[in-house]
Amino acid sequence: MSKATDADAELGVTLEINGQEVQAKQGETILEATERTDIDIPTLCAYADLTNVGACRMCLVEIDGSRLETACTTAVQDGMEVEVDTDDLWDHRQTILELMFSEENHYCMYCEMEGDCELEDMFNRAGLDSSRFPLEYPEIDPDTSNEFITMDLDRCISCGRCIRTCDEVVGNDTLSFGNRGKDATIVADDDVPLGESSCVSCGACVQSCPTGALYSPLSAYRGREEDCDVVQTTCSECSMGCELEVYTNSGRIVKIEGVEDGPDGGQLCEMGRFGLLGDDRDRIHEPSIRGEGAVGVDVATDRVADLLEDAETVDAVASDRLPSETLDAFAEAMDDYDAAVEVPGAGRAREEKRIARQVAKHFEKSPSGLRASGPRALLDADSVVVFDTDIVDTHPVAASYVRRASKGGATLLSVDEDEDRFGRKSDVSIEAGTGLDRVSEDAVEVVEEGASALSDVDAETLMDAVPALTSGIGVVVLGPDVSEDTIVNAYALAGMTGSKVLSLPRQANTGTDVGTDDLHGSADVAYLFAGDDREENVDRMLDVARGADTVIVQATRESILTKAADVVLPALDWFERSGTVTDASGADREIARVLEPRVAVDSDREVLSALSEAVEPQEVKP
Amino acid sequence: MASLDSIRQSIHESDADVGGDDAEIIPADADVEDVCDEEVDTVRSLIEPFPDDKEGVIPALQEVQGEYGYLPRFSMQLIADKAGTSMAHVYGTASFYSQFYLEPRGEHTIKVCTGTACHVKGADEISEEFCDELDVELEEVTDDGQFTVSHVRCIGACSLAPAVMVGDNVHGNVTEEKVPDVIEEYRGDDA
C-alpha cells in the first residue's frame, strides 16, 4: 500500500516527529517520511521495497499523544505529532521481543547469523538481556532438503519477509504462511520440504531474512558481515549482467548478494548467488605442456608463440563471458598470427542489430526505439509475449520480471516448442508444434490483417491474445533458442504494435565485435580461450579442438577441453577478472577484481600481449 | 494408508462404472498426474462455478471437501490453477481454517465434547472408548472409511454432559457402555 506513493509528489505535508518538523509527501507512511531524516524508527518486518504489513509491531509510534499505530502502515497527516522513543513505546517493544524470543528456539550463541542478526540487534537496542517469559521449546526440524538454502524455523519470527520476497521480487510464490495463530509457520507449497517444492533456489529469501531462519550452508560459519570486505562486480553467467555484492573474508568468498537499490533490484538466481561459490572443478594453477608437465609462464608462452607462428592455419575461439577488453586483446593477438577468430554466440547479437536496423527503417523508428531498456521495462508492461520460455532456466532473473509483470496484471502470452515453463502464470500458452517462427509469423499476420485466414490450430488463440499487444505497452521477450525468422518476426511485431523487444541471448557479453571470421574447420592449431566456461558451454570449442592437429587451451579450471590440450595456459576466474561487459539491453557493466589471483598469471591480457610481442616483425606489405 | 472403499463407493454410488468394489480412496498426497482423468474432471466441474481468482479459492475448497470429505493434494493443485494463484496460497488458506481437512475423514465424525462440564464428567474416557471400539486414533479414519473420532470445544449441551455429536445429532449422558450403540446407529448408514 505504502509503495504506491508517487515518487515525484511534492513535500506538501508537515508533521512533527520526536519534536522535529518533518516534511512528507501526501500518502506517504510515517516510516517513509523519516527516511529523509536522521530519525530511526525500529523495524523488523519492513524490508527494501516490499509491501509493508505491520507484522512485527516494532515500529509502533505514539500519535497525537494518545493512539499507538505502526509507522510502516500509517499515512502521514498534516499537523500530526508523532513520538518514536517514549518509555511506554519501548515497554511495548520489549514485551513483543520477549514473546518472540520465548516462542521459538533462539539460541544466539549457536546461530550462524549471530552478529548479523536483526532480531539480536533489536534485543540489544531495547536493552534486553533475558526474557521474562518461560521458553516454549517447540519441536522444529530444520529443513535441509535444499542444498543451497537451509530453512531452520527455530529462528523464525514470522515477519513474512521471505514470503513477500518470493511473491513480490521473485514472483514465484513458493512460500506462504500455513496454519493459524501460534501454530502459524512458513511453508513451501503445501508444506513440502523446500528441496521438493517449486522453489527455484534463487536465495532472495535468504537475503531478506532478518534472523538465522533462512541461511545458506555454503556461507555458514565463514565470517560475519562486519569482518568481510565487500566488492561490487557483474555476474557473467548470462546476458542479464546482474550486479553482485561479493563478501570476502581471509581470501575466500563468503557469500554473494544482490544489490537492492541497484539496477536489478537485488534479485539474483541460483547460479549467481550460490553456483559461483561452489565451482569445485580443479583449478589450473600453472601452464603445462603435454609430455613435459608443468612449465613456467615464459616457457609456455614462447612455445605457444612458436606453435602459432609455425602453423599454416589457426582457428581461435574465445568464451563470450570474457570482458570486452580481454576479448579485444585476444582478437589483437590472434590477428598477429592471421588466425580465424570466433566468439560463439556473438553472432546472435550482430544478427539482431542488423535486423533491428532494417525493421526500424521500415517503421521509421530508431533501432534502439525497438528495444526494451532492460527487464524492468516488463514491470510497466500491459502485455508480454515470450518466445522460448526456457529463460526460466537460462535467464532466471528475467523470468522473475516476467512473472512479476503477469502478477501485476499484464497479459502474458507464452510460446514454446515444448512445455510452457511459466505454467499458470501465463494467460495464454501456445505449445508451438510447428515451431516458433511459424507462430511468430502468424502473430504478425494477425496484427497486419486482423482475422485473416490462418490455418494453424493456434490461430484462434493468437487472434484472442495478440491484439492485447496493440493496446497499451507491450514487450516481446526473445529467449536464447530462437531462429533468425523468429527474431525478424518479433521485431516486426514490435514495430507494428509499438512494443519493445527484450532479447536474451545465451552469450554473456553482448558488446563484443570480435569473432566475425569463418573458422578453417581443420586447422593446424586451435587456440581456445575457455576461461571459466562450464562443460555445457565448451561444445563448440571441443568441435574445433577435434578438427585441429595441435590444441592450445587457456582455461581457469580442468575440463574435458584441457585434457585434450597440448598446451594449457592458466586463466583467471570470474572473481579475479576486471573490465567491462555489455548486458542484453546494451548497457555497459563493470567487472571488478574481487580477490587477487592465486595462479601463475596475474592477468589474462598479459598472457595475450606476451603472445603479440612474440611475433617476429612481419614484412610490411607494399 | 488404509483402503477406504466405502467412501469412494458411496460417493460414486449413482455412478456405477466409477469406483466399484476395488475403488480405493485417493491418498491425500496424490498429484494431478496420479489420479485418473475422471477424478480431475469431477473436481474441475465442481469448482467451475467459482471466480477465476483468489476470491474463488474458499468456496472451491468447500465444494471439493463436500464431495471428498477432505482436500486431496490434486484438488488443491486444480484450484490453484483455476484461481491463477499458487499452491502455497491455497494450502495456506486451507490450513488456516479448521473447517478444512487435509487428511481423509470418516463418513461420520464423532465429535466428543471436551468442554468443561463434559471434561469433568469423563469426556476423555468416552473418547478413548470410541477410539478403542473403532480401533483408531483421534482424527484418524477407520479402515472401513466410516468413522473419525474428534475432539470439539463446548457444544452447548452441558446439561447432557458428557455429550457427543454425530452429524447434527446430539447424544447426551453418554457412558462407556453406550458407545457401541452410538456407533451402530450410524454404521452402514450411507445417508
Using the Cβ of A188 and the Cβ atoms of chain B, whether some distance falls under 8 Å is answered with yes
Q: Return the sign of the alpha-carbon dihedral for residues A419, A421, A424, A426.
A: negative
Using the Cβ of A429 and the Cβ atoms of chain B, whether some distance falls under 8 Å is answered with no
The full set of domain ranges for chain B reads 4-96, 108-190
Q: Chain A partners of B88 at a C-beta cutoff of 8 Å? A: 173-176, 187-190
Q: In the prediction, which pLDDT does A616 show?
A: 64
Q: What pLDDT, in 10s, does the model give residues A31-85? A: 999 999 999 999 999 999 999 999 999 999 999 998 999 999 999 999 999 999 9
Q: Are residues A360 and A329 in the same domain?
A: no
Collect all residues with Cβ–Cβ distance below 8 Å to A298 and sequence separation of at least 6. none
Q: From the list B86, B87, B95, which residue is nearest A179 (CB)?
A: B95
**Structural domain of residue A293, as residue ranges?**
288-346+514-574+599-613
β-bridge pairing A175-178 and A185-188: antiparallel
**Do A34 and A22 touch, CB atoms closer than 8 A?**
yes
The amino acid that residue A139 corresponds to is: E
Using the Cβ of B53 and the Cβ atoms of chain A, whether some distance falls under 8 Å is answered with no
A293: left (phi over 0), alpha (psi -120 to 50) or beta: left
**Do B136 and B184 touch, CB atoms closer than 8 A?**
no
Q: Chain A partners of B95 at a C-beta cutoff of 8 Å? A: 178-180, 187, 191
Residue of A nearest to B102 (CA): A190
- Alpha carbon distance A538, A229 (integer Å): 33
- Alpha carbon distance A2, A396 (integer Å): 28
Q: What pLDDT, in 10s, does the model give residues A377-418? A: 999 999 999 999 999 999 999 999 999 999 999 999 998 988
Portion 68-87 of B in contact with A at CB < 8 A: 73, 76, 80-81, 84-87
Count of residues for chain A?
Answer: 622
Q: Are residues A470 and A522 in the same domain?
A: no
pLDDT reading at B58 higher than 70: yes
Q: Give Cα separations from A307 to A525, A528, A611 (angstroms).
A: 7, 14, 11
Q: From the list A180, A190, A424, which residue is nearest B91 (CB)?
A: A190
**Do A534 and A555 touch, CB atoms closer than 8 A?**
no
Q: How far is B86 from chain A (nearest CA, A)?
A: 6
Q: Are residues A394 and A320 in the same domain?
A: no
- Alpha carbon distance A513, A346 (integer Å): 8
Q: Chain B partners of A179 at a C-beta cutoff of 8 Å? A: 95-96
**Bridge partner list, A63:** A67, A82
- Alpha carbon distance A56, B172 (integer Å): 46
**Do A186 and A150 touch, CB atoms closer than 8 A?**
no
- Alpha carbon distance A248, A569 (integer Å): 27
Q: In the prediction, which pLDDT does A513 show?
A: 76
Is A354 within a domain? yes
SS3 assignment, position B123: helix
pLDDT reading at B90 higher than 70: yes
Q: Nine-digit cell at A217?
A: 550452508
Number of structural domains (chain A) is 3
- Alpha carbon distance A104, B158 (integer Å): 37
Q: Give Cα separations from A353 to A210, A288, A348, A376, A620 (angstroms).
A: 45, 40, 9, 21, 35
Q: Give Cα separations from A48 to A52, A120, A265, A380 (angstroms).
A: 10, 20, 9, 20
Domain boundary, last residue among A33, A59, A85: A85
Q: Nine-digit cell at B108?
A: 461420520
Q: Are residues A295 and A389 in the same domain?
A: no
Domain boundary, last residue among A85, A108, A126: A85
Q: In the prediction, which pLDDT does A402 show?
A: 96
CATH of the domain at A560: 3.40.50.740
- Alpha carbon distance A576, A578 (integer Å): 7
- Alpha carbon distance A370, A360 (integer Å): 7
**Bridge partner list, B164:** B112, B171
Q: From the list A187, A198, A424, which residue is nearest B92 (CB)?
A: A187
Which residues of chain A fall below pLDDT 70?
A: 1-9, 449-460, 463-465, 467, 515, 536, 616-622
Count Cα atoms within 13 angstroms, Cβ side, for A213: 26
SS3 assignment, position B164: strand
Kindly provide the ipTM of the predicted complex, given to two decimals.
0.86
Q: From the list A178, A198, A424, which residue is nearest B92 (CB)?
A: A178
Using the Cβ of B95 and the Cβ atoms of chain A, whether some distance falls under 8 Å is answered with yes
Q: How far is B172 from chain A (nearest CA, A)?
A: 32
Is A255 within a domain? no
**Do B132 and B96 touch, CB atoms closer than 8 A?**
no
The amino acid that residue A258 corresponds to is: G
**Do A174 and A199 touch, CB atoms closer than 8 A?**
yes
- Among A176, A182, A196, pick the best mutation site for testing chain B contact (most B Cβ within 10 A): A176
**Do B68 and B35 touch, CB atoms closer than 8 A?**
no
Residue of B nearest to A409 (CA): B84
Q: Are residues A68 and A46 in the same domain?
A: yes
Q: In the prediction, which pLDDT does B33 show?
A: 86
- Alpha carbon distance A200, A173 (integer Å): 10
Q: Nine-digit cell at A337?
A: 598470427
Collect all residues with Cβ–Cβ distance below 8 Å to A330 and sequence separation of at least 6. A316, A318, A322, A341, A514, A529, A608
**Do B56 and B50 touch, CB atoms closer than 8 A?**
yes
Using the Cβ of A182 and the Cβ atoms of chain B, whether some distance falls under 8 Å is answered with no
Q: Are residues A356 and A470 in the same domain?
A: yes
Q: How far is B75 from chain A (nearest CA, A)?
A: 12
Q: Return the sign of the alpha-carbon dihedral for residues A483, A484, A489, A493.
A: positive
Using the Cβ of A189 and the Cβ atoms of chain B, whether some distance falls under 8 Å is answered with yes
Q: Chain B partners of A180 at a C-beta cutoff of 8 Å? A: 95-98
- Alpha carbon distance A351, A484 (integer Å): 8
The DSSP letter of residue A506 is S
Q: In the prediction, which pLDDT does A452 show?
A: 54
- Alpha carbon distance A443, A298 (integer Å): 58
The domain B108-190 belongs to what CATH superfamily?
Glutaredoxin (3.40.30.10)
A435: left (phi over 0), alpha (psi -120 to 50) or beta: left
- Among B54, B76, B86, pick the best mutation site for testing chain A contact (most A Cβ within 10 A): B86
Domain boundary, last residue among A66, A85, A104: A85
Q: Are residues A396 and A518 in the same domain?
A: no
Q: Are residues A472 and A538 in the same domain?
A: no
Residue B91 and residue A175: Cβ atoms within 8 Å? no
Q: Chain A partners of B76 at a C-beta cutoff of 8 Å? A: 190
User: Mind giving me the DSSP string for A309-355?
Assistant: HH-S-EEEEE-TTS-HHHHHHHHHHHHHTT-EEE-TTHHHHHHHHHH
Q: Are residues A460 and A380 in the same domain?
A: yes
pTM of the model: 0.88
Residue of A nearest to B72 (CA): A190
Average of per-residue pLDDT across B89-96: 96
Residue A198 and residue B85: Cβ atoms within 8 Å? no
- Among A163, A189, A196, A407, pick the best mutation site for testing chain B contact (most B Cβ within 10 A): A189
Q: Are residues A75 and A29 in the same domain?
A: yes
- Alpha carbon distance B184, A215 (integer Å): 55
Q: Give Cα separations from B66 to A192, A303, B8, B69, B99 (angstroms).
A: 25, 80, 13, 6, 11
Count Cα atoms within 13 angstroms, Cβ side, for A348: 21
Q: Nine-digit cell at A86?
A: 517514549
Residue A178 and residue B95: Cβ atoms within 8 Å? yes
Q: How far is B87 from chain A (nearest CA, A)?
A: 5
- Alpha carbon distance A575, A276 (integer Å): 9
Collect all residues with Cβ–Cβ distance below 8 Å to A464 and sequence separation of at least 6. A428
Rounded to a whole number of angstroms, the CA Rg of chain B reads 18
Q: Which helix (H) or strand (E) holds A387?
A: strand A383-387
Rounded to a whole number of angstroms, the CA Rg of chain A reads 28
Instruction: Please list, residue by residue across A23-53, b when 16 or more beta carbons sit within 10 angstroms of its beta carbon and e when fewer do.
Output: ebbeebbbbbbbeeeebebbbbbbbbebbbb
Instruction: Please list, residue by residue across A600-618, b when 16 or more beta carbons sit within 10 angstroms of its beta carbon and e when fewer do.
Output: bbebbbebbebbeebeeee
Q: Are residues A561 and A490 in the same domain?
A: no
- Alpha carbon distance A102, A94 (integer Å): 12
β-bridge pairing A288-289 and A293-294: antiparallel
Q: Are residues A409 and A313 in the same domain?
A: no
- Alpha carbon distance B164, B171 (integer Å): 5
Q: Give Cα separations from A529 to A549, A608, A618 (angstroms).
A: 17, 10, 25
Q: How far is A200 from chain B (nearest CA, A)?
A: 14
Q: How far is A496 from chain B (nearest CA, A)?
A: 30
Q: How far is B188 from chain A (nearest CA, A)?
A: 34
pLDDT reading at B128 higher than 90: yes
pLDDT reading at B20 higher than 50: no
β-bridge pairing A214-215 and A150-151: antiparallel
